[in-house]
Structure 1
Amino acid sequence: MTHHDTAPADTVTQAPGGVDPRSAGPEGPFPTQEQPDQPGLTGEMTPTPDHGEESWVRRHRLTGRKALITGGDSGIGRAIAIAYAREGADVAIAHLAEEQDDADETRRLVEAEGRTAATFAVDLTDEQATVELVAAAREALGGLDILIPNAAYQRQRDGIENMEVAEVERVFHTNLVSTIVLAREAVPHMPPGSSIIVTTSIQASEPSPGLLDYAMTKAALVAFAQALAQDLAEKGIRVNAVAPGPIWTPLIPATGFPADKVAEFGQDTPLGRAGQPAELAGAYVYLASDESSYVTGAVIPVTGGRPF
């Protein structure tokens, strides 16, 4: 088993007090690039996102835990899977069939840490398939005590007058309805001490007109986490959320943004750059660990300084 102790020297500038956050990742601008549709694929991105393959340091905070991560093949989901495996958790990931290559790579990375990994090709807009996913993940891992509804769909919208109901429904079912179904199916089998961690977004509090329907779902996920946290507290299950800002994942070149928006992605943050998936993983580890035993109904913003 490989032990990763330090971040790559060529991507991190060490300041006297720690890593300088202004230069802890590529500062941009990004090369012009676009992927025709979602799901976006990691191998077609330049530069390749940092998921923590070399930088995440294990501290054994999730030993013996069992996690289901949707959208776990790439981007934030892959970063969570790598961090969880290094912290001692077994991991199941859900992905679309078109993302099998990325899912296989995430599985390899988890198994390289000596942990159990399972991958499931699932369309989360299909309720029965989502129900079966939770059952299959529990069987593959021998239980379930961490649920991370992370999969999301977004497309750039060109005005309210051009919005198609079918597209809006796809966004709502992928981002929001599937989260409800996943929690509904998982909670009866989750022991006290379990965690549900949803991925919301800076879009929940700072919505962009071009992402109207996506922003609506992310705002709803904040309410979901806060309400469900109160409901499940008596069961000893904590519910929290992480709100990413601009993070360099396959979702970005596959959203249909104008070329200049992709090139300048994240440069409007106070830290002046986009975040890397690995920079989100710590929030998910903290919220799943015993270190956050008094934290429920919370939202942790990881936004490069943009106010949430």
Structure 2
Amino acid sequence: MKGKAGLVTGAGSGIGRAAAIEFARQGAAVAVLDIDETAAAETVEMIEKNGGAAVAVLVDIADERSVRSAVERTVAAYGGLHFAVNNAGMASHHRKLDEMTLDEFERVVRVNLTGTFLCLKYELPLLAGGGAIVNVASNGGLYAIPSAPAYVAAKHGIVGLTKVAAVDYAAKGIRVNAVCPGPTRTPGFDQVAVGTDLIAMQEASTPLGRMATAEEAAAAAVWLCSDAASYVTGIALSVDGGRRA
């Protein structure tokens, strides 16, 4: 990744932060995009402490003007765009379909699916000499998660967008793939799990016997953006410790 520049959305924490740090470790310049300016600045500080190049950029992926501005700021900062990881999103669980309000459903879809669409819309025309995009979906984009109808619908949509973009832009040398992590130990997940047996349940249902780390999920996204994956496009890569098998 040395000499390349790109962006990671939702890079203020979790998988996004881990991906931004790994890109920088491999020599790339990274725009750290997040709706939380403080969290984005913390990621930049982590990267710079290790000699990497990064800039924090505020973005709300549910807002078209914000997305356009963030992508343009990345290109202005680094003179080009070689990769992008569209990772930002929101969770939505513990609601069966008939218990969910329309406002909640539309909000989850707006952030996860429409947000990914907006990122793709403004990234694709600016990728320098081809390039690669990874959309972070979920194993919920491959099969059902009980009581998560909006989340699962949106993540399935991300997988569909990924496949269409991969086909439509292949002639321009652009590769588009999705990463579909299973349950991953992030600060956000740990907060939800406090006082429950959720972590033990997830570990028990995973063939490898543990949840993924944010770094493991991020590594798949970084690989898909690298030249090592130069003939890989249009896939939805499950990173789930064998759960789908």
Query: Which SS does the other structure have where 1:252 is aligned?
Result: helix
Distance between the aligned counterparts of 1:256 and 1:169, measured in 2? 25
Q: Per residue, is there more helix in 1 or in 2?
A: 2
The equivalences for 1:267-278 within 5 A come to: 267-278=204-215
Question: Does 68-77 or 180-189 show the bigger shift?
Answer: 180-189
The equivalences for 1:91-130 within 5 A come to: 91-97=30-36, 100-130=37-67
TM-score (norm 1): 0.75
8 Å Cα contact 1:159/1:210 also seen in 2: yes
Which protein shows a greater Rg?
1
**Aligned-pair distance for 1:258?**
7.7
Distance between the aligned counterparts of 1:249 and 1:85, measured in 2? 20
Distance between the aligned counterparts of 1:269 and 1:173, measured in 2? 30
8 Å Cα contact 1:270/1:306 also seen in 2: yes
8 Å Cα contact 1:156/1:255 also seen in 2: no
> Structure 1 residues 255, 232: CA separation in 2 closer, same or farther (over 3 Å shift)?
farther
Which 5+ residue runs of structure 1 have no aligned equivalent? 1-61
Query: Which SS does the other structure have where 1:146 is aligned?
Result: strand
Deviations 1:255-278 (A, max 9, x none): 589823255443310111111011
Residue in 1 aligned with 2:149? 212
Which 5+ residue runs of structure 2 have no aligned equivalent? none
Distance between the aligned counterparts of 1:65 and 1:267, measured in 2? 40
Query: Which SS does the other structure have where 2:189 is aligned?
Result: coil
Q: Share of identical aligned residues, percent?
A: 37
Higher relative contact order at CA 8 Å, sep ≥6: structure 1 or structure 2?
1
Residue in 1 aligned with 2:233? 296
Residue in 1 aligned with 2:25? 86
The equivalences for 1:160-199 within 5 A come to: 160-199=97-136
8 Å Cα contact 1:157/1:212 also seen in 2: no
Residue in 2 aligned with 1:259? 196
Distance between the aligned counterparts of 1:186 and 1:302, measured in 2? 25
2:127 aligned partner, one-letter code: M
- Equivalent of residue 151 in structure 1, options 85, 88, 92: 88
Query: Which SS does the other structure have where 2:81 is aligned?
Result: coil
> Structure 1 residues 251, 206: CA separation in 2 closer, same or farther (over 3 Å shift)?
farther
2:57 aligned partner, one-letter code: F
Distance between the aligned counterparts of 1:93 and 1:265, measured in 2? 30
- Equivalent of residue 226 in structure 1, options 155, 163, 166: 163
**Aligned-pair distance for 1:253?**
4.2
May I ask how many residue pairs the two structures share in their alignment?
245
Distance between the aligned counterparts of 1:166 and 1:277, measured in 2? 30
> Aligned Cα RMSD in Å?
1.9
> Structure 1 residues 233, 68: CA separation in 2 closer, same or farther (over 3 Å shift)?
same
> Structure 1 residues 265, 96: CA separation in 2 closer, same or farther (over 3 Å shift)?
farther
8 Å Cα contact 1:116/1:141 also seen in 2: no
Residue in 1 aligned with 2:3? 64
Q: Does 1:139 align with 2:62?
A: no
Deviations 1:68-98 (A, max 9, x none): 111111110111111100111011121123x
Query: Which SS does the other structure have where 2:30 is aligned?
Result: strand
